[in-house]
A and B are shown apart, each in its own frame.
Chain A
Amino acid sequence: MSVSPPRRGLFSWLDRRYDLAPLAAFLQHKEVPLGVHSIFWYYLGGLTLFFFSVQIATGLLLLVYYQVGEQTSYESIRFITTKVPFGWLVRSMHCWSAHLMIVSLVLHMLSTMMLKAYRTPRELTWITGFALFALALGFGFSGYLLPWNELAFFATAVGTDSVKAVPWIGEWLMHVLRGGPDVSGHTLYRFFALHVVVLPLSVFAVVGLHLLLIQRQGMAPPLGREAPRGMRFFPDFMLRDLLLWLIGLILLATLAVFLPYGPRIPGIEWELGRKANPLAPAYPGIKPEWYFLWVYQLLKEFPPHILGLEGPQAALAVVTVLFAIWALVPFLDRRSRRDEPSPAFTDLGVAAVLFIGFLTLKAWDIGGGKAAQPDPQAVARACAIWAFGAGLVATALRRALWHHAWFLFSAAALLHIALHGLVGMSYLGSGAIAAIAVAAGLGFTRFRAHRTVPAGDRP
């Protein structure tokens, strides 16, 4: 079904000069595959890009008045939010879109994980997506300090301090990040440069590569479907994309008007408060942004020394291993490479959500009441009840709706949660038991598979 490019008007004028007909033909022929699952998941990448565009637009507007510096950052943000016409709206939309971008990015990654869209030949698309996720976290971390208020100052001090745990170069790396031994005006300048120059340029490059790979290879068809149905990208998919962006913009504007400083949940709030004072003592209850909370809580779960390592070093090693596993999923998942269902990696995605969700709930001190120092056992119990309940519901739904039968990782995550929160074991002790259970389960699965495959067919 070929459509002849139009021959009149502006397009014709441009086409004669720049030979746009092949591009138009490409767009008209480009199709988005339709699978058994909702097509909604295909829109999340575009939605993330939309929120990123809002970030760029509002960021540029903030730059018109923002003046970086120990004596000017706080004052200029205050001026923007109180005196500049619609300045409050611009800042609020900038902050909200940053959080919504992370939400849609995480959902996009999870949907890619669940649909196995990362499988051969799209490994590099996954890797570039993971790099974009890391860059988005960098945006959040560097942007947090720029208002130079008390909360940002102390959160950045804690965040940059944790870099010390990196073996051998930790201390040096912290000095490089801070521009000295402490968080100071030098740190502010560095983070500003990162936030408005280095990271945007990096994101443009990686997003460009990510989109190029998608255009070259097309969107991943559903697993096991040789000839999927398709939806034309232009105008059908594009218009639907636009519709979702409009809904996203309405949501963004509504949140910006009614909750201009966020929902006032630790890690999702950006009220300016008091100006940073490096000489003031840090106050309790300082927490990083919500997407770093699980790392923050994991650091707290580790004792000062473990297995010959400093506690933070061990925690950082665990986080690095988890990130590495996540980044290398396309190479680890051999079944999906053969275009076969890989329920283990679906379950790994669910287990990751349970693991991160439980730590995040703990970081919010759910169940701790309003005490300044909540009882850790009460918090662990309440969070375990929520996370365990959610895990059971998810498992039941997976079984009933999608007939899933592989639950080893999610069962281990639930065992970890139950042993720690409901039985009262230490977090690391229960984690070790869960890890042993996973290893035993994997060994048993391999052993059973080995016995059922005839000797001649074994790889």
Chain B
Amino acid sequence: MTPLLLALLLAAADQMPEPIRPFLAAKAKDGTPVLSAEDRRKLEEMTDHTRQLVATAADNQILGSAAHLKILLSLDLPAQAMDLVLQDNCILCHSDPGNQKPRALFSPDPAKQGSNPLLDLRELVSDVHFRRGLSCAGCHGGTPQDESMSNDIAKRWPKSEARHQDRSWIPGFCARCHADPAFMRGFNPTLPTDQLAKYQGSRHGILLLQEKDSHAAQCVSCHGVHGIRGPKSRKSTVYSQRIPDTCGGCHANPAFMAGYKTDSGEPMPTMQVAEYKASVHGKALLEKGDLGAPACTGCHGSHAAMPPAVASVAQVCRRCHAQNGALFDGSKHKAAFEQHKWPECGQCHGKHAIEKPTDALIGTAPGTLCADCHAQHAKDNAACSATAEQFRRALDTLAAGRAEVAPREEEMAERGLDVEPLARAMSELDEALVQARSRVHSFELGTFDQAARPGREALEKARQSIAAARSDYRFRKGGLLAAIGFMGLLAAGIVLKLREIDRRRRE
């Protein structure tokens, strides 16, 4: 098998540019060719231009060996990206295992090579900057054509100890491009260029830039280093479903957050991410895949991340729950909450651990939100108690009615009965329930009843359609019985006739 493969490779070598041929003939220690048939196929399928770039790199000895070429082919890059790699001496030199020590070697498998996990060659060639033509030299200095480390690189890039001790240089470094609208327009005209300005005013920015706390998050803390992807990529650390874990990398780590305080001077909690994941928003985003549900940045912002103040937190909720917010603004509770300096929505629903609200929150029984709050702050208010009781009773009636009629739909469908009227009524009932539950935030019976009344009507329609369907089914069974009776009589007549014929014949 091996000699055959070797013969094939040697035959094919004739068609390859001269500098590539030694790679095709190269053998490993065990005598097998370094480049497999699959690698050869990849070489053959390259465009002439790309193959010529391979040959040039090989001729310049910056593509050092067959093993080095095999590594590059294993990346399975599209032609354009392969061309970028082959014209970038930094990548070529730092991906050659025969030319670099593990500490500076970019490899498709850094763990196996014992190099830094950040030096992942696959990640590097997937980086959004690399894909748009901005490679190592863009950040580190020098040019892709440099054949050795230049002074320019040494000047731009601080020594390891210095750049790790004080991270405050990073936002400004990234902002050289990202805060320059003219420059960014050439790559992505829709990308904002105000990230640095926002960051400077954020809690992270204040800590890093003003208080020189290099623990504080900066650009690479969230976006990564080599292998940065756009926020719409599922692999991006700032993809909405990955944001909780990205933020949680610091905020859910008690050791890391030790010493930090909230605005009110309390130790910074580290339960937010766990609470968020168990919340209605966390489940919607992470379990149901609803990308419209907010992650951490949905309420706190991203580059301008700050804890929302009491005055503004309700406005954050209103970005999605606009109707509930408007109803609350017109309610009696608005003034009361302002008087107590309560954060509106958060006062009843909580912050990170927001649960799916249920009708059990409403009412005058102990344990309900209304009763517990009024017991402390607005005791013996008969009108409020009556309103709360009415809300609860109406919602319970609609919900119980729905639970009563819903199973009938499947039962009717199985019997072949017309379920359309019931399905329509159920749809109206569901909409009425959603609206009624929302209008609870008006804390006013008239507004609430505008939604509850259609619900009661829809429930009545559903019950009528069930009754009509049952009556229809009874009619069907009755009709069948009558038909069987008629056909049974006919059958009996035939049997009698047959007997008569037999009797007559015997006689």
**Physical interaction between A and B:** yes
> Cβ of A236 < 8 Å from any Cβ of B?
yes
What are the residues of chain A within 8 A of B413 when measuring CB–CB? 271
State whether A257 touches B476 (Cβ < 8 A).
Answer: yes
| Contact with A239, one of B414, B416, B420, B494 (Cβ below 8 angstroms) | B494
Q: How distant is the Cα of A325 from the Cα of B203 in the complex, in angstroms? A: 85
Q: How distant is the Cα of A242 from the Cα of B487 in the complex, in angstroms? A: 11
| Contact with A250, one of B414, B487, B501 (Cβ below 8 angstroms) | B487
Closest to B483 in A: A253
Docked complex: A135-158 residues within 8 A CB-CB of B: none
What are the residues of chain A within 8 A of B498 when measuring CB–CB? 236, 239-240, 243
> Cβ of B428 < 8 Å from any Cβ of A?
no
* A88-B416, A250-B484, A253-B483 known; A239-B497 Cβ under 8 A: yes
| Contact with B480, one of A81, A83, A239, A253 (Cβ below 8 angstroms) | A253
Closest to A78 in B: B420
> For A81, A239, A246, A249, which residue has the most chain B Cβ atoms within 10 angstroms?
A246
| Contact with A81, one of B416, B487, B488, B490 (Cβ below 8 angstroms) | B416
> Cβ of B495 < 8 Å from any Cβ of A?
yes
> Cβ of A228 < 8 Å from any Cβ of B?
no
Q: How distant is the Cα of A260 from the Cα of B491 in the complex, in angstroms? A: 25
Q: How distant is the Cα of A271 from the Cα of B416 in the complex, in angstroms? A: 8
State whether B494 touches A260 (Cβ < 8 A).
Answer: no
State whether B501 touches A246 (Cβ < 8 A).
Answer: no
| Contact with B491, one of A92, A247, A271 (Cβ below 8 angstroms) | A247
> For B414, B416, B488, B491, which residue has the most chain A Cβ atoms within 10 angstroms?
B416
Closest to A247 in B: B491
> Cβ of A445 < 8 Å from any Cβ of B?
no
Against B, the Cβ 8 Å flags (1 = close, 0 = not) of A232-253 are 0001100110110011011001
> How far, in Å, is B491 (CB) from chain A's closest CB?
5
> Cβ of B477 < 8 Å from any Cβ of A?
yes
What are the residues of chain B within 8 A of A261 when measuring CB–CB? 414, 416
* A82-B420, A88-B416, A243-B491 known; A236-B480 Cβ under 8 A: no
Q: How distant is the Cα of A88 from the Cα of B480 in the complex, in angstroms? A: 14
What are the residues of chain A within 8 A of B393 when measuring CB–CB? none
Against A, the Cβ 8 Å flags (1 = close, 0 = not) of B480-505 are 10011001101100110110010000
> How far, in Å, is A419 (CB) from chain B's closest CB?
36
Q: How distant is the Cα of A416 from the Cα of B483 in the complex, in angstroms? A: 48
Q: How distant is the Cα of A82 from the Cα of B469 in the complex, in angstroms? A: 11
| Contact with A254, one of B418, B484, B488, B501 (Cβ below 8 angstroms) | B484
State whether B491 touches A253 (Cβ < 8 A).
Answer: no
Q: How distant is the Cα of A82 from the Cα of B488 in the complex, in angstroms? A: 29
Closest to B476 in A: A257
State whether A243 touches B494 (Cβ < 8 A).
Answer: yes
State whether A257 touches B501 (Cβ < 8 A).
Answer: no
> Cβ of B415 < 8 Å from any Cβ of A?
yes
What are the residues of chain B within 8 A of A260 when measuring CB–CB? 415-416
What are the residues of chain A within 8 A of B495 when measuring CB–CB? 243
Interface size class of B (residues with CB under 8 A): 20 to 34
Name B's interface SS.
Answer: helix
What are the residues of chain B within 8 A of A246 when measuring CB–CB? 487, 490-491, 494
Inter-chain residue pair count (beta carbon < 8 A):
46
Closest to B490 in A: A246
Q: How distant is the Cα of A137 from the Cα of B490 in the complex, in angstroms? A: 33
Docked complex: A41-90 residues within 8 A CB-CB of B: 81-83, 88-89
Closest to B414 in A: A261
Q: How distant is the Cα of A38 from the Cα of B501 in the complex, in angstroms? A: 21
* A239-B498, A246-B491, A246-B494 known; A82-B418 Cβ under 8 A: yes
> How far, in Å, is A283 (CB) from chain B's closest CB?
19
Q: How distant is the Cα of A121 from the Cα of B362 in the complex, in angstroms? A: 87
Q: How distant is the Cα of A150 from the Cα of B140 in the complex, in angstroms? A: 58
What are the residues of chain A within 8 A of B480 when measuring CB–CB? 253-254, 257
| Contact with B484, one of A240, A242, A243, A253 (Cβ below 8 angstroms) | A253
Q: How distant is the Cα of A235 from the Cα of B494 in the complex, in angstroms? A: 10
| Contact with A242, one of B415, B416, B494 (Cβ below 8 angstroms) | B494
What are the residues of chain A within 8 A of B479 when measuring CB–CB? 257
What are the residues of chain B within 8 A of A88 when measuring CB–CB? 416
* A82-B420, A246-B494, A257-B480 known; A236-B501 Cβ under 8 A: yes
What are the residues of chain B within 8 A of A254 when measuring CB–CB? 480, 484
Docked complex: B442-498 residues within 8 A CB-CB of A: 476-477, 479-480, 483-484, 487-488, 490-491, 494-495, 497-498
Closest to B420 in A: A82
Q: How distant is the Cα of A250 from the Cα of B488 in the complex, in angstroms? A: 9
State whether A92 touches B497 (Cβ < 8 A).
Answer: no
Docked complex: A217-239 residues within 8 A CB-CB of B: 235-236, 239
What are the residues of chain B within 8 A of A92 when measuring CB–CB? 416
Q: How distant is the Cα of A243 from the Cα of B418 in the complex, in angstroms? A: 34
Q: How distant is the Cα of A260 from the Cα of B411 in the complex, in angstroms? A: 12
Closest to A242 in B: B494
> How far, in Å, is B375 (CB) from chain A's closest CB?
50
What are the residues of chain A within 8 A of B501 when measuring CB–CB? 235-236, 239
What are the residues of chain B within 8 A of A253 when measuring CB–CB? 480, 483-484
What are the residues of chain A within 8 A of B487 when measuring CB–CB? 246, 249-250
What are the residues of chain A within 8 A of B477 when measuring CB–CB? 257
What are the residues of chain B within 8 A of A240 when measuring CB–CB? 498
Q: How distant is the Cα of A236 from the Cα of B420 in the complex, in angstroms? A: 50
Against B, the Cβ 8 Å flags (1 = close, 0 = not) of A259-284 are 01100000000010000000000000
Closest to B495 in A: A243
Q: How distant is the Cα of A253 from the Cα of B481 in the complex, in angstroms? A: 10
What are the residues of chain B within 8 A of A250 when measuring CB–CB? 483-484, 487-488
What are the residues of chain B within 8 A of A243 when measuring CB–CB? 491, 494-495, 498
> How far, in Å, is A436 (CB) from chain B's closest CB?
36
What are the residues of chain B within 8 A of A242 when measuring CB–CB? 494
> How far, in Å, is A58 (CB) from chain B's closest CB?
15
What are the residues of chain A within 8 A of B416 when measuring CB–CB? 81, 88, 92, 260-261
> How far, in Å, is A65 (CB) from chain B's closest CB?
15
> How far, in Å, is A263 (CB) from chain B's closest CB?
11
Q: How distant is the Cα of A313 from the Cα of B390 in the complex, in angstroms? A: 71
Q: How distant is the Cα of A236 from the Cα of B504 in the complex, in angstroms? A: 12
Q: How distant is the Cα of A338 from the Cα of B451 in the complex, in angstroms? A: 86
What are the residues of chain A within 8 A of B414 when measuring CB–CB? 261
Could you list 20 further interchain pairs (A-B, Cβ under 8 angstroms) beyond the known A81-B416, A250-B488, A253-B480? A81-B418, A83-B418, A89-B476, A235-B501, A236-B498, A236-B501, A239-B497, A239-B498, A239-B501, A240-B498, A242-B494, A243-B495, A243-B498, A246-B494, A250-B483, A254-B484, A257-B479, A257-B480, A260-B416, A261-B414
CB<8 Å pairs between A and B, sample of 18: A81-B416, A82-B418, A92-B416, A235-B497, A236-B498, A239-B498, A239-B501, A242-B494, A243-B495, A246-B487, A246-B490, A246-B491, A246-B494, A247-B491, A253-B484, A254-B484, A257-B479, A271-B413
Chain A positions near chain B (C-beta within 8 angstroms): 81-83, 88-89, 92, 235-236, 239-240, 242-243, 246-247, 249-250, 253-254, 257, 260-261, 271
Kindly list the 5 A-B residue pairs having the minimum CB-CB distance in the complex, ordered from nearest.
A260-B416, A82-B418, A257-B480, A246-B491, A243-B494
